[in-house]
Amino acid sequence: MATVKDNDPQLSAISPARASQGDPGLAGPVPEGDTAAFTRGQSRGRELAGLWRRRFAAWAEENPGQLLFAGVIVGFVAGKLFRRPRRIELEVD
């Protein structure tokens, strides 16, 4: 997997005139502090996702009836959101 520092093709794709305008988001290396913060955020997100996955699995095991009811409700709401009513076209003679 490529790292942020290996993105040379993206940096070289920027025109030299645009890079020389002083836009800090387009040119130059990524500061190390930003990379470390991003890595910490990723690991914290993974920890939280694992925690919520375990909590959900425990709840589902303890309450299978509620899980079934929640699934029906979610399916109903998704069906209402994503399925439009059919258009009725009347033929006028």
Does the residue 44 lie in any domain? Answer: yes
| List of residues 6+ apart from 86 with CB closer than 8 A | none
Does a structural domain hold residue 70?
yes
Percentages helix, strand, coil for the chain (3-state, rounded to 5) are 65, 0, 35
Read off the pLDDT of each residue in 5-25 and give the average, rounded to a whole number: 51
Mean pLDDT of 52-60: 95
d(CA 62, CA 51): 17
Select from 12, 36, 39 the least CA-distant residue to 26. 12
CB 28 within 8 A of CB 34: no
Q: What is the total count of domains within the chain?
A: 1
Question: pLDDT value at position 2?
Answer: 53
- 3 domain-assigned: no
Instruction: List pLDDT tens digits, range 58-91.
Output: 999 999 999 999 999 999 999 999 887 777 777 7
73 belongs to a structural domain: yes
Which domain, by its residues, includes 52? 31-82
For residue range 28-43, what is the model confidence (pLDDT) as tens digits? 676 777 888 888 999 9
